[in-house]
Amino acid sequence: MQTNANATDIEAIERATLQAVAPEQIEILPGWLLPMDPGTINRARSAVPLHHGEHDLALLGTIVAHYEAVGVAPLFRLPGAPSFNGWLRELRARGFVHHQPTFTQTCAVADLAPAEPMARVELASVPDAAWLAMYLGEGLDPVDGANRARSLSRATGTRFASIRENGATVACGAASFSHGWLGVHGMRTAAAHRGRGLAGELLRGMAQEAQRQGIEQAFLQVDAKNSAALTLYRRLGFTSAWAYAYWRRVEPPRGP
């Protein structure tokens, strides 16, 4: 799909994303951020462009070399914009394949925030044990979950949102407030409580905090195959700004 966002917003969203997922280190090249992290969060370890215009194709080899120099497998997070067609052809020629198509979606905070306070949504500056138990609960790979929790925990400008009932956390999410955007991450709802609108309640509570901080725009990233989440976000006013996919190199098969 075509990019439906301006260059300023694209750069702000990408910088805000990496502030929220907090890789161990970030290298910078002209027009690019190169996050490097040993964990499992692809956004925290994939090279990403700061605009969707033309980029010198010679940078592709430079980026690969930067990752290989520190012993990290090169990974790219690239939009489907026509300006990257040459990059995609070159990546295929180098043995890279794409996976996990994802939408970056945006929404006006004013359209998301309700008039009445969302009293049940608790926002904390650090994730407590109950938040982590919900986040690392049913349906999430334990290793992946631990990596995600560690990454979110070391982020700055993030508030950890919870809804509790009868002393138990039944829904959670992480809201980042940086670079002029509310970023929504780590949304989870307990299986027994799905379909009750708790995710929407969390998002509205996050939006009210964004308004309090003078932030007018929100973004999130959602797997293109997650139809339930896409339906929810569309109902709440989110629209897709661009699509991207990850590109990783396929290792040749080992001999006997």
pTM of the model: 0.92
Tokens representing 54 are 């033309």
- Say what the pLDDT of residue 256 is: 46
List of residues 6+ apart from 116 with CB closer than 8 A: none
How far CA 146 is from CA of 36, 75, 139, 152, 189, in Å, comes to: 17, 21, 13, 10, 17
Amino acid at 252: P
Distance CA 5, CA 141 (A): 33
Distance CA 94, CA 251 (A): 11
Residue range 195-232, pLDDT digits in tens: 999 999 999 999 999 999 999 999 999 999 999 999 99
| Residues of each domain in the chain carrying CATH 3.40.630.30 | 108-241
Amino acid at 47: A
CATH superfamily of 108-241: Gcn5-related N-acetyltransferase (GNAT) (3.40.630.30)
Residue range 62-84, pLDDT digits in tens: 999 999 999 999 999 999 999 99
Residue range 79-107, pLDDT digits in tens: 999 999 999 999 999 999 999 999 999 99
- 198: closest CA among 171, 165, 177? 171
Distance CA 127, CA 154 (A): 10
